[in-house]
């Protein structure tokens, strides 16, 4: 908790950390270098903030599929090689190219950026050398509060209750196996894509889930509606905690803070995928941008104070990868928010504490909701991705129908196939054919495992080690 504000309102910052299962599946421009970039530019810098003043008030969600990859054999060595070989060389090539073309100013910005990866190497070594059996996961353990489904499946689109149970049990068991020694799980569960349907509530409750975040913007009214500041009871399941889009969109929207001209431009890239320009087209000036981040942090805290002045809980939920990776200055902004909250007297609460102390409102009927565009399931099951969506559902039914003969490999390939990431990337025109190829590969491996039980597949060796095939055999 931060600040000494009166008990009339508070902010909860929830960071949802997720990466599709890319470990061992390709490199640049798509594949496990996504994981390495997020680790270097988001996760390691974020840990410094979480371990600092006020960081314990931030609620961190880690998806099991991300954790599986961070714990995979050899991933640390490949990450170090990425930093020392790939990123050093790519920066050197771009620096030389800029100098040869007479752009010493761009070269200087690139040299400064290269230092970030050297710093990441130092951070990683400090956090993993002689630090226990789980390496980097031990650094996350004190902050790993919320978990999610095994592979970020959109749960309302899973074909059977047994399939939902598999996703829930595998994810929760994996989280507990890795983190309960350091921080006991209190039932906080991030619904992938905030996808909720009332029929899921009894299954969530049975799995031990006590609170989930939902997007009720189209249910409760516009962004400023006071109903978004109140958790809701359900008849059979966990509390529904609305995310507060009025606050979130200060950060995460087309006109949000990262669009400011001062910040580093993520989209304008050099030949080797680096970013020496600001959004306004000038050569990037790090100190100017950090100053702007502090200004935006102060403005954010003022706006949130006004939002909760009459009481209630504002939940600002952001993808962790926005901070540092997509929005280069985002981690600096977060650290400044925590400081500004103390200065301005805004109370920041951990979501577990807020849920435990909440007096929830009466149940509502939200229907099926997500934080997609629009706030329904169409991002993941519209005609454009219908083949992928139906393929996953049919594969699930095939595995369930196999009964006791269901092969463990088929179950893990099913979990991989159910990831929301493949349909999301197709819908948003991201990553070319990569998501289609990945889905096809997992489907083919699943069919092979059903046809020839007992085979092994090293490609998913680290995915969902706590998977319970028996969950699929329940009626």
Q: Are residues 345 and 396 located together in one domain of the fold?
A: no
Within this chain, do residues 19 and 89 fall inside the same structural domain, yes or no?
Answer: yes
Residues 76 and 183 in one domain: yes
Are 353 and 386 in a shared domain?
no
Name the nearest CA neighbour of 131 among 139, 121, 141, 140. 139
> Strand 211-214 relative to strand 59-62: parallel, antiparallel, unpaired?
unpaired
H or E element that contains 61: strand 59-62
Q: Is residue 207 assigned to a domain?
A: yes
Residue 246 has φ and ψ, to the nearest 5°, of -60, -40
Residue 303: φ, ψ to 5°: -65, -40
Which CATH number characterizes residue 389's domain?
Answer: 1.20.1430.10
Query: Max alpha carbon distance in the chain (Å)?
Result: 69
Last residue of some domain: 357, 391, 413? 357
**CATH number of the CATH domain containing 33:** 3.20.110.10
The verdict on 347 and 420 lying in the same domain is no
Is residue 137 domain-shared with residue 257, that is, in the same domain? Answer: yes
Residue 374 lies in a domain: no
Say if residues 250 and 256 touch (Cβ distance below 8 Å): yes
Does 388 lie in the same domain as 331?
Answer: no
What is the number of other CB atoms lying within 10 angstroms of the CB of residue 103?
Answer: 16
- Count of helix runs (H) and strand runs (E) in the chain: 19, 7
Residues 283, 229 share a domain = yes
Together in a domain, 20 and 162: yes
User: Per the domain annotation, does 426 fall within a domain?
Assistant: yes
Is residue 224 in a domain? Answer: yes
Q: Dihedral of the CA atoms 20, 24, 29, 34 (nearest 10)?
A: 40
Query: Among 325, 357, 389, where does a domain finish?
Result: 357
Residue-range definition of the domain harbouring residue 392: 380-473
Domain count, the chain: 2
The answer to whether residues 391 and 304 belong to one domain is no
Spell out the per-residue pLDDT of the chain, length 475, in tens. Answer: 333 333 579 999 999 999 999 999 998 889 999 999 999 999 999 999 999 999 999 999 999 999 999 999 999 999 999 999 999 999 999 999 999 999 999 999 999 999 999 999 999 999 998 766 678 999 999 999 999 999 999 999 999 999 999 999 999 999 999 998 888 899 999 999 999 999 999 999 999 999 999 999 999 987 788 899 999 999 988 999 999 999 999 999 999 999 999 999 999 999 999 999 999 999 999 999 999 999 999 999 999 999 999 999 999 999 999 999 999 999 999 999 999 999 999 999 999 999 999 999 999 999 999 999 889 999 999 999 999 999 999 999 999 888 767 888 999 999 999 999 999 999 999 999 999 999 999 999 999 999 988 777 667 879 999 887 777 765 4
Domain boundary among 357, 391, 425: 357
Task: Specify whether 335 is located in the same domain as 390.
Answer: no
Q: Give dist(CA 335, CA 417) in Å, integer.
A: 37
Structural domain includes residue 14 = yes
Establish if 316 belongs to a structural domain: yes
Residue 63, in any domain of the structure? yes
| Together in a domain, 230 and 325 | yes
On whether residue 4 sits in a domain, the answer given is no
How far is the C-alpha of 248 from the C-alpha of 256, rounded, in Å? 9
């Amino acid at each position: 908790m931060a600040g000494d504000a009166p008990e009339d309102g508070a902010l909860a910052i929830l960071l949802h950390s997720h990466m599709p299962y890319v470990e061992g599946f390709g490199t640049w421009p798509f594949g496990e270098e996504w994981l390495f970039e997020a680790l270097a530019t988001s996760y390691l810098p974020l840990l410094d903030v979480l371990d600092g003043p006020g960081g314990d008030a931030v609620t961190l969600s880690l998806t099991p599929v991300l954790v599986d990859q961070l714990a995979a054999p050899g991933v640390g060595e490949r990450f170090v090689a990425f930093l020392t070989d790939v990123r050093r060389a790519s920066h050197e090539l771009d620096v030389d190219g800029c100098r040869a073309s007479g752009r010493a100013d761009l070269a200087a910005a690139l040299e400064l950026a290269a230092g970030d990866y050297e710093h990441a190497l130092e951070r990683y070594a400090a956090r993993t050398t002689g630090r226990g059996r789980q390496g980097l996961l031990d650094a996350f353990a004190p902050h790993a509060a919320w978990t999610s489904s095994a592979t970020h499946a959109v749960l309302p689109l899973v074909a059977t209750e047994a399939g939902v149970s598999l996703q829930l049990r595998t994810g929760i068991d994996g989280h507990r196996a890795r983190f309960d020694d350091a921080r006991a799980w209190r039932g906080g569960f991030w619904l992938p894509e905030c996808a909720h349907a009332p029929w899921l509530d009894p299954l969530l409750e049975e799995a031990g889930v006590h609170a989930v975040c939902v997007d009720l913007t189209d249910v409760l009214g516009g962004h400023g509606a006071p109903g978004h500041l109140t958790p809701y009871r359900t008849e059979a399941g966990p509390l529904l905690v609305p995310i507060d889009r009025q606050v979130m969109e200060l950060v995460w929207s087309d006109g949000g803070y990262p669009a400011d001209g001062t910040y580093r431009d993520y989209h304008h890239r050099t030949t080797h995928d680096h970013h020496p320009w600001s959004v306004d087209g000038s050569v990037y000036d790090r100190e100017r941008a950090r100053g702007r981040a502090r200004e935006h942090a102060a403005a954010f805290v003022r706006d949130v104070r006004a939002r909760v002045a009459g009481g209630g809980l504002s939940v600002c939920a952001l993808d962790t990868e926005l901070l540092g990776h997509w929005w280069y200055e985002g981690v600096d902004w977060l650290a400044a928010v925590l400081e500004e909250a103390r200065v301005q007297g805004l109370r920041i609460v951990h979501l577990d504490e807020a849920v435990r102390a909440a007096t929830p409102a009466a149940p509502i009927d939200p229907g099926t909701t997500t934080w997609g565009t629009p706030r329904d399931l169409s991002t993941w099951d519209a005609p454009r991705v219908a083949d992928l969506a139906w393929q996953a559902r049919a594969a699930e039914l095939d595995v369930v129908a196999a009964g006791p003969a269901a092969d463990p490999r088929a179950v893990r390939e099913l979990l991989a196939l159910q990831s929301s990431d493949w349909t999301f990337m197709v819908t948003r025109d991201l990553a070319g054919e990569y998501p289609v190829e990945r889905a096809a590969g997992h489907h083919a491996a699943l069919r092979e495992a059903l046809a020839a039980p007992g085979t092994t597949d090293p490609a998913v060796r680290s995915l969902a080690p706590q998977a319970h095939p028996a969950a699929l055999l329940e009626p």
